[in-house]
Each structure stands twice: as C-alpha cells, then as structure tokens.
Amino acid sequence: MKTIRVVAALIVDPRDPTRFLVQQRLPNKSRANLWEFPGGKVEPGETDEAALARECHEELAVELAVGRRLWSNNHAYDDLIVQLELFAADIRKGEPQPLGAQALRFCTPKEMQALPFCEADLPLLESLVAGTVPTR
C-alpha cells in the first residue's frame, strides 16, 4: 500500500487564540467535502517545513512562518497510509483564501468536533479537545 507524508499547519486565529484555521476539501478530490487542517503532501527532496510553506502559499495565498512540530500520527485508509505531521504556524503575509479548498473557517477544537473531518485528523481533534497537544 502506498504511503504519503502529509504536513499540516495549526494556525491560530489572530483575534482569538482558542480558534484554529481549518479547510473543507474540494468535492472532486479524494475524501471530498471533509474538513482538515491546511497543508498537503511532502514532495521528494523537500523538508516538512518547506512543504508546509509551499502548500499554504498554493492553497491559501499566504506566507507562512513554520514553527515546531506539535503532533504526529500514522493512519491507514483503504487506499493509502498517511504519515501526518502537525506544525505550529503563523501567517506572516496575506489573508487566507480558499484557493485549494471550498471553505475556510476558524474554529475551536470543540466546534471542529461537529464537522465531518478526515479520519487521519480525528485523533488530533481528540488530543486538541483534551488539551494534550501544545498549540504553540
């Protein structure tokens, strides 16, 4: 089974530090219409941090400052294994635009639990709600 490395950003709402940016996947993609944290696949030869900055530039039209790794997990879907790495990140330039998603929203972890999230993100949501993942 194919394994991919995926990086995601925990971006804090500048107006409310209890809320984080999430995006809804496009309807024509795998795991269509599900919610996830911004980010994407790491390309060969790319560092996790460089991949996250690139993906957020392409999908959100923002310049990102990538901080430390906060959380990681492996998840097996029917068609692939995802190695998910979550990083603290701050927007240095730009306002997030849904270029690679159908919707963006800042939510608290509790609010996120009401959204249909990708399976690979569910353990992360549980950890955020429980307060066991640092948010900076």
Report the alpha-carbon distance of residue 51 to residue 6 in Å, rounded.
9
- Here the CATH number for the domain that contains residue 27 is 3.90.79.10
In a domain, 135, yes or no: no
> How many distinct structural domains can be found in the chain?
1
pTM for this prediction = 0.95
| Chain segment 20-44, per-residue pLDDT in tens | 999 999 999 889 999 999 999 999 9
| Chain segment 94-123, per-residue pLDDT in tens | 999 999 999 999 999 999 999 999 999 999
In a domain, 98, yes or no: yes
| Chain segment 42-71, per-residue pLDDT in tens | 999 999 999 999 999 999 999 999 999 999
79: tokens are 């068609």
| Amino acid identity for residue 136 in this structure | R
Range of the domain at 55: 2-130
| Residue carrying the six token digits 């923002």 | 62
In a domain, 20, yes or no: yes
In a domain, 104, yes or no: yes
pLDDT given for residue 134 in this prediction = 85
In a domain, 11, yes or no: yes
Q: Is 100 left (phi over 0), alpha (psi -120 to 50) or beta?
A: alpha
